[in-house]
């Protein structure tokens, strides 16, 4: 079962940044609406603007690497009311590529400074303060974070429904299926449910 | 004087030789009375039998002067004495020699053969009377030797050979009719759990957990499906089709009926196209406790001609739009068993 977020204040939090560049983040998302900027998953900081994140901005899926500048790579336009698979490969400080349902978007090569994320969040992100922003409105499930840049084929496998633990498991550092239970199936990290995100139907996956 | 002569006559009457000796002796004695009586001749010593004692010569007169030594009388030889009395019984003969060893004792009692008994020495023979007793007779056979010690137990006998097969017994009385047996050997061909679900692209049952048990949620208003893939075992018997047993529970419902369907697809055709055979269905009432599993069995005779060794896909569906499906809320599929129907 996925978790359903109200788009207002609900999000999940892990009190550590589970990865930094190079890394890959992926998740399934079901938007209830395309209005607003909605963060899916991110590693960020409550004191600096260091962030790597997957975001839907008014229906435009994009990934951002915000060091000293905000380097953004756009994926596909998505619609509300259906499950989509989102992934972002942050290969380096000058290479980031978004994937929407297994299809790569344009790679962004803007060079940015090193970052120092300190927290992992699902359904929001921290822009240098303790206040989370850009809450997701809809359902999120199957969040995986690898400390490596996955290949396009690996991303496509995820988009077909393979669960994160079946794809390059040796590099997987965080895996939250969100099938009812709030647990990191890989690293065992605690996941805090802030403001009562609720259980919802799970996307189609090969368990 | 006269008496002595008379006695001589009497004695002589016993035997001629003795009589003649006695007459001679008496004559001599008379001569001796006239001179100096010579001593009677000593009777001859009986040989064997003691001869008769010769007559004692008459005592010469005393008081006279010692006469000249008379001439030596020559006494007639006395008659042969009476036969001597039998000699006394001879001394006991020398003890006979030891009898020969008695006969060998009888064989010891059964067991291992007892040691040979030793016959007791025979009794001493008693020599026969005689000057030298004859050798004693052989001693009697000694008493039977004591029974030998019981031998150690013999080694156990070997196993006897199997007896011959007995003859066939008589035909028994016909037994009573037995209870109805099971419908044949029920063999499990596959067990499938939610983790093996290969969901269709649309209308799929969703993965969920209940008490950390993976389940697949089937909606109560939308028809949803789960698809499992496996291989029919080589030993499978499919002449009667297959039985599909669904283990499930209700998310919240404690009453109502759930309609389950099962359909099979043989994997020998283009996998790009679904080709499930006709589905079979069963309607089952849920348990009064929502977490208690229900076991619902569907007999599937339309199995797309699947054979042993064929790959197959099994589609499980909750027909939520059926009028017979009255259960509220999700049905949670826990596991599926594919078993023989024969």
pLDDT digits (tens, 9 = 90+) for B33-56: 443 445 445 545 444 454 455 455
Residue A60 is predicted with a pLDDT of 97
Residues of chain B in Cβ contact (below 8 Å) with chain A: 194-199, 201, 204, 206-210, 212, 214, 217
The residues near B60 (Cβ < 8 Å, ≥ 6 apart) are: B32, B33, B36, B37
Q: How confident is the model at residue B12 (pLDDT cuts 50, 70, 90)?
A: very low
Kindly tell me if the per-residue pLDDT of B137 is higher than 90: no
For residue A179, give how far its alpha carbon lies from the nearest alpha carbon of chain B (Å): 6
* Whether the Cβ atoms of residue B185 and residue B340 lie closer than 8 Å to each other: yes
Contact residues on chain B for A204, CB-CB shorter than 8 A: 199, 201, 204, 206
Interface contact flag, B206 A204, Cβ < 8 Å: yes
Tell which wins on pLDDT, A48 or B97. Answer: A48
Measured in angstroms, the CA of B208 and the nearest CA of chain A are apart by 5
Which tokens go with B331? 């049905």
Q: What is the pLDDT of residue B20?
A: 44
Find, among A138, A49, A143, A134, the residue nearest to A88 by Cα: A143
Kindly compute the dihedral angle of the four CA atoms of residues B249, B252, B256, B262, in this order, to the nearest 10 degrees. Answer: -40
Chain B residues touching residue A202 (CB < 8 angstroms): 206-208
| pLDDT classification of A6: cutoffs 50, 70, 90 | very high
Do A195 and A11 form a contact (C-beta atoms < 8 A)?
yes
Instruction: Collect all residues of chain A within an 8 Å Cβ-Cβ radius of residue B217.
Output: 1, 201
Residues B182-188, mean pLDDT to the nearest whole number: 74
- Fold annotation for B188-340: Jelly Rolls (2.60.120)
> Which of B153-166 are b and which e, b meaning 16 or more Cβ less than 10 Å from the residue's Cβ?
eeeeeeeeeeeeee
Rounded-to-10 torsion of CA B16, B20, B21, B25:
150
Q: What's the token pair of residue A117?
A: 């994320």
Q: Which residues on A lie below 8 Å from B204 (Cβ)? A: 204
Domain coordinates of chain B in residue numbers?
Answer: 1-59+71-81, 188-340
Cα separation, B140 vs B102, whole angstroms: 7
Q: What is the pTM of this model?
A: 0.62
pLDDT over threshold 60, residue B3: no
Q: Does A38 touch chain B (CB under 8 A)?
A: no
Chain A residues touching residue B214 (CB < 8 angstroms): 179, 207
CB B242 within 8 A of CB B314: no
**What is the rounded radius of gyration, in angstroms, for the C-alpha atoms of chain B?**
73
Separation between Cα atoms, residue B32 and residue A8, nearest integer Å: 203
Give the model confidence (pLDDT) of A56-67 as tens digits: 999 999 999 998
| Nearest-neighbour CA in chain A from B191: distance (Å) | 16
Share of chain B above pLDDT 90, in %: 44
Q: How far is A206 from chain B (nearest CA, A)?
A: 6
What dihedral do alpha carbons B326, B329, B334, B340 form, nearest 10°? 20
Q: Is the confidence metric ipTM above 0.85 for this complex?
A: no
- What are the residues facing B294 on neighbouring strands? B248
- Rounded CA-CA distance A104/B278 in Å is 41
The model's confidence at residue B165, banded by pLDDT at 50, 70 and 90, is: confident
Q: At what angle do helices B2-12 and B16-34 cross, to 10 degrees?
A: 160
For A84-124, what is each residue's pLDDT tens digit?
999 999 999 999 999 999 999 999 999 999 999 999 999 99
pLDDT tens-digit map of A150-207: 999 999 999 999 999 999 999 999 999 999 989 999 999 999 999 999 999 999 999 8
pLDDT given for residue B132 in this prediction: 57
Where does the pLDDT of residue B30 fall: very low under 50, low under 70, confident under 90, or very high at 90 and above?
very low
């Amino acid at each position: 079962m996925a978790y359903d977020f109200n788009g207002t204040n609900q999000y999940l939090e892990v009190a550590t940044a589970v990865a930094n560049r190079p890394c890959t983040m992926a998740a399934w998302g079901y938007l209830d609406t395309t209005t607003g900027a909605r963060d899916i998953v991110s590693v960020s900081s409550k004191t600096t603007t260091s962030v790597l994140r997957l975001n839907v901005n008014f229906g435009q899926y994009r990934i951002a690497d915000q060091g000293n500048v905000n380097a953004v790579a756009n994926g596909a336009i998505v619609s509300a009311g259906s499950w989509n698979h989102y992934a972002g490969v942050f290969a380096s400080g000058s290479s980031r590529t978004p994937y929407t349902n297994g299809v790569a978007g344009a790679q962004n090569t803007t060079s940015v400074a090193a970052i120092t994320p300190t927290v992992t969040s699902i359904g929001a992100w921290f822009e240098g303060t303790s206040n989370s922003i850009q809450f997701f409105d809809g359902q999120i499930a199957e969040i995986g974070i690898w400390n490596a840049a996955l290949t396009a084929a690996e991303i496509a496998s995820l988009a077909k429904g393979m669960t994160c633990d079946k794809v390059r498991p040796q590099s997987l550092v965080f895996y939250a299926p969100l099938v009812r239970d709030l647990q990191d199936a890989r690293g065992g990290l605690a996941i805090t449910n802030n403001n009562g995100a609720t259980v919802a139907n799970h996307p189609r996956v090969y368990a | 004087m006269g008496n002595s002569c008379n006695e001589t006559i009497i004695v002589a009457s016993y035997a001629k030789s003795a009589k003649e000796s006695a007459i001679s002796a008496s004559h001599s004695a008379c001569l001796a009375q006239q001179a100096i009586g010579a001593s009677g001749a000593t009777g001859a010593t009986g040989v064997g039998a003691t001869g008769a004692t010769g007559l004692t010569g008459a005592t010469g007169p005393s008081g006279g002067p010692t006469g000249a030594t008379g001439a030596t009388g020559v006494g007639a030889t006395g008659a042969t004495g009476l036969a001597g009395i039998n000699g006394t019984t001879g001394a006991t003969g020398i003890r006979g020699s030891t009898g020969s060893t008695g006969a060998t004792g009888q064989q010891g009692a059964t067991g291992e053969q007892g040691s040979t008994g030793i016959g007791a020495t025979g009794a001493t023979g008693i020599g026969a009377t005689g000057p030298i007793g004859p050798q004693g007779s052989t001693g009697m056979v000694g008493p039977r030797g004591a029974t030998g010690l019981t031998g150690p137990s013999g080694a156990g006998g070997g196993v006897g050979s199997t007896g011959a097969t007995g003859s066939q017994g008589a035909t028994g009385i016909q037994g009573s009719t037995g209870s109805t047996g099971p419908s044949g050997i029920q063999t499990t061909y596959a067990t499938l759990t939610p983790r093996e679900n290969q969901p269709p692209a649309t209308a799929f049952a969703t993965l969920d957990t209940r008490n950390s048990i993976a389940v697949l949620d089937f909606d109560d208003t939308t028809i949803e499906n789960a698809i499992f893939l496996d291989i029919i075992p080589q030993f499978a018997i499919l002449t009667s089709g297959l039985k599909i047993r669904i283990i499930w529970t209700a998310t919240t419902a404690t009453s109502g009926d759930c309609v389950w369907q099962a359909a099979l697809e043989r994997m020998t055709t283009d996998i790009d196209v679904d080709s499930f055979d006709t589905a079979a269905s069963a309607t089952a009432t849920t348990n009064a406790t929502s977490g208690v599993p229900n076991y619902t069995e569907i007999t599937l005779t339309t199995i797309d001609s699947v054979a042993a060794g064929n790959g197959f896909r099994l589609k499980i569906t909750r027909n939520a739009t059926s009028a017979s499906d009255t259960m509220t809320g999700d049905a949670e599929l826990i596991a599926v068993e594919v078993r023989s129907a024969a």
